[in-house]
Amino acid sequence: MVPALSAAVITGLVLAGGRGQRMGGADKGLQLLHGQPLAAHVLARLAPQVGALAISANRHQDVYAALGAPWHAAVLADTLPDFPGPLAGLLAGLQAAKTPWLLTAPCDSPWLPADLAARLAAAVLAHDADIATVVTTNATGNNAGETSLHPVFALVRTSLADDLAAFLGAGERKVRAWYARHKTIEVNFADERAFYNINSLQELADLDRA
C-alpha cells in the first residue's frame, strides 16, 4: 500500500494578497461568483482536504477573517512591502503554519479538484520531494498535447521557510526559480477547467451568468 499524508498534517492557504491589476485593482478574492466571494469557493473546496486553513490577504483583512471564520482560518499579511507576489504570501503561510506541509491555491480558481491534496501528497511521498505542483495537458486548440504549469497550486514543506525568506531577501520573485532550488515534482491532472483562474471582471460576469 502506498503511504499517505493525512489531512491533519497539511495547512491550506488561499492566496488572496495580490493587487488585482487585471481586475482594475479590485480585491479579486472578494468578487462574487454565484452570490459568494471567489475566496469562499476556494475555502470550501480546500477545507475537507486539510487540517487547518489560512488566507493570505493584504487588504480587507476583516472581511477575509469573516469569510474564514467557519473554518477558523487565520488571515496572514505579507511580511514584505509593496505586494511582491505570491511567494510573499507563501512565505507568510510557511512561517505561520503549525503543520509540516502547506497546500496553496489561488483565490480565483473556484473549481479546484477535491483530490488536490491527496494527489500532491502521494507525489511528494513517492518521490521524497520537497514540493509538488500541478501541470495539465492541453486537450484542444493549437496547443493540444502541450502541458501547462500551474505553480501556485502547490504542496510545500514548511521547513523551507528560511530558504524562501533568504531567496526573497535577495530580491528574487519568480515562483518557478525558487522551486528549482528544491526537489520538485510535477503532478499531471486531466481536468484543465479545475485550475482555471478568473482574470477579469468580464470573465467573472460571463461565468456568473452561466
In a domain, 1, yes or no: no
Whole-angstrom CA distances from 156 to 24, 32, 95 are: 31, 29, 12
In a domain, 102, yes or no: yes
Per-residue pLDDT of the chain (210 residues; tens, 9 = 90+): 445 789 999 999 999 987 666 666 789 999 999 999 999 999 999 999 999 999 999 999 999 999 999 999 999 999 887 777 899 999 999 999 999 999 999 999 999 999 999 999 999 999 999 999 999 987 666 666 788 899 999 999 999 999 999 999 999 999 999 999 999 999 999 888 889 888 766 777 777 665
In a domain, 155, yes or no: yes
Q: Which domain holds residue 101?
A: 7-209
CATH number at residue 48: 3.90.550.10
- Helix 161-169 with 86-96: angle, nearest 10 deg: 150
In a domain, 158, yes or no: yes
In a domain, 86, yes or no: yes
Number of domains in the chain: 1
In a domain, 2, yes or no: no
With beta carbons less than 8 A apart as the criterion, state whether 31 and 75 touch: no
- Which helix (DSSP H) or strand (DSSP E) does residue 133 occupy? strand 131-137
From the list 69, 67, 79, 89, the residue with the least C-alpha distance to 19 is 89
In a domain, 56, yes or no: yes
Rounded to an integer, what distance in angstroms lies between the CA atom of residue 131 and that of residue 11? 14
pTM score, whole prediction: 0.92
